Every structure is written in structure tokens, then in C-alpha cells.
Amino acid sequence: MTALRQTAMKELEKLPEDKVSFILQIMQGVNGLYNDNQSERKEAFTRLEQLRKKGTVTDYDAELASYREEKYGK
């Protein structure tokens, strides 16, 4: 056990029993954020990739001219 963990254990032993539950909740929250962060990112990226529209435009100048004509009408 590292010195840092030993210090943390000593501090936990000093706490009253009713305060230990708060520390436990904090520890579980931090552990959950640390472990699930990568999986959540991957899932979010996958959802974004599914939502992304695939472009079919091959002539960008003609597409732009078409939008200008539609909007401003010449």
C-alpha cells in the first residue's frame, strides 16, 4: 500500500461513522467518472456518426450557385 493510501485510510478511520457514507458516495462518484468516461465518449461518438449525413455533392460550385439562385433569384 502506498503512503498516500495509508494516509487516506488513517483519515477515514478518524471520521465519525455518519460522515463515512458521504465520503463513500464521493469516492464512488469519482470512480464512476474515471472508469465510464471512455465508454461514454465512444458511445456518443458512435451516435454522432450515425446521425451525420453523408454528402452527395460532387460539384460544389454548381451547388453554391443553385443555393444563391434559390435564395436571391436572378
For the chain, 74 residues long, the average pLDDT of each consecutive 10-residue run is: 90 90 85 67 87 80 91 82
Q: Does the CA dihedral 6-8-9-15 come out positive or negative?
A: positive
Condensed to tens digits (0 to 9), the pLDDT of residues 36-56 reads 667 778 888 888 888 887 777
pLDDT given at position 37: 62
